Amino acid sequence: MNLKAYYEKLKGSAMACIGFILSPLSWWNDLYVNIPIAYFCAWVFSLFYPDLFMHAFVVSYLATNVLGFVLLHKGIRKTLSKDDSQKVRYGWKDFLKDLAISLLYTFLIVILVKLNVILPFQEYKAIMK
């Protein structure tokens, strides 16, 4: 195997690992990865537009899930041989399926925000006083 092919497989492996970490395929990913990333993005956004915390949280959470699926598929494809890579396509149908799964998870997050389980930092401080 030449160096360039090895580098491409290594790059694909890294993409697939990052994709797996971001995708909702593991039980721990939401608690330790996606929710903190989405929460941080929404918190920063809420500093400027406080009323849009939930919207920013939902969009950020959905984006991390979809990005995870896309990186996982693209990364795995890069690690396969050329013949196998041609058999594994990631088209619109796959993307829409990944989006639908991500939307289901996002719906659960919306419920948590609506029930005030997830709030901006500022509001937690107000509750603690």
The mean per-residue pLDDT over the stretch 48-75 comes to: 92
Taking only the tens place, the pLDDT of each residue in 3-26 is 888 888 899 999 999 999 998 887
Q: Where are the domains of the chain?
A: 3-128
The mean per-residue pLDDT over the stretch 78-92 comes to: 72
Average pLDDT of the chain to the nearest whole number: 85
Closest by CA position to 38, among listed 15, 68, 65: 65
Phi, psi at residue 28, to the nearest 5°?
Answer: -90, -15
How much is the pLDDT for 105? 82
Q: Is 114 exposed, middle or buried (0-12, 13-18, 19+ CB in 10 A)?
A: exposed
For residue 118, pLDDT beyond 90: no
For residue 122, pLDDT beyond 80: no
